[in-house]
Amino acid sequence: MIEARAVVVRSDATSVWVKLSDPVAGCGRCNEPGGCGGARIAHAFGRPSDIFRIDNTRGFVPGDAVVVSLRDGAALGAALTSYGIPTAGALLGVIVATWLGGETSAWLGLVAGLLMSYGVMRRVAQRRGWRQQFSLSIRADGAACPHPRVQP
């Protein structure tokens, strides 16, 4: 489980908005010799948002300390799907077009493969089960306050 501590900043009857209190910054060696600078790449187009909307299933209110979780393998699955399907479509389009018509048609095959991949990705993304595996879950952060919260 990938977990991060957060604080509830806003809530309503169905949702909470949480702000990460310890945003992940990579290995911490960005400014040291041998560091890859991976955390700086994430900020190339502006600071990423550290506020997320999550279903409020437990009645959290602003100020509550929580832990936000993402299922193991969800990030890898998203990356493999997002990059794998278009790459496979492009390669398949180029291979088939080259086999059928030579080098000039390879470009058309590339475009056709990418367009088909786009259609496949849209269908995959519309499947409810596929989207649910990437949903964040939330629980109270027991380390922040040792006292159980009393529900009225």
Q: What is the pLDDT of residues 27-80, one digit of tens each?
A: 666 666 766 666 666 666 656 667 888 888 888 889 888 888 878 887 788 888
State yes or no: pLDDT of 115 exceeds 90.
Answer: yes
pLDDT at 103: 79
Indicate the domain borders of the chain. 1-71+135-152, 72-132
- Mean pLDDT, rounded, for 123-141: 74
Packing angle of the helix pair 103-126, 74-101 (nearest 10 deg):
150
- Mean pLDDT, rounded, for 122-131: 77
pLDDT at 89: 92
For the record, the structure tokens of 78 come out as: 């998203």
Length of the chain: 152
Amino acid found at 58 = R
State yes or no: pLDDT of 129 exceeds 90.
Answer: no
pLDDT bracket for residue 99 (50, 70, 90): confident
- pTM reported for the whole predicted model: 0.57
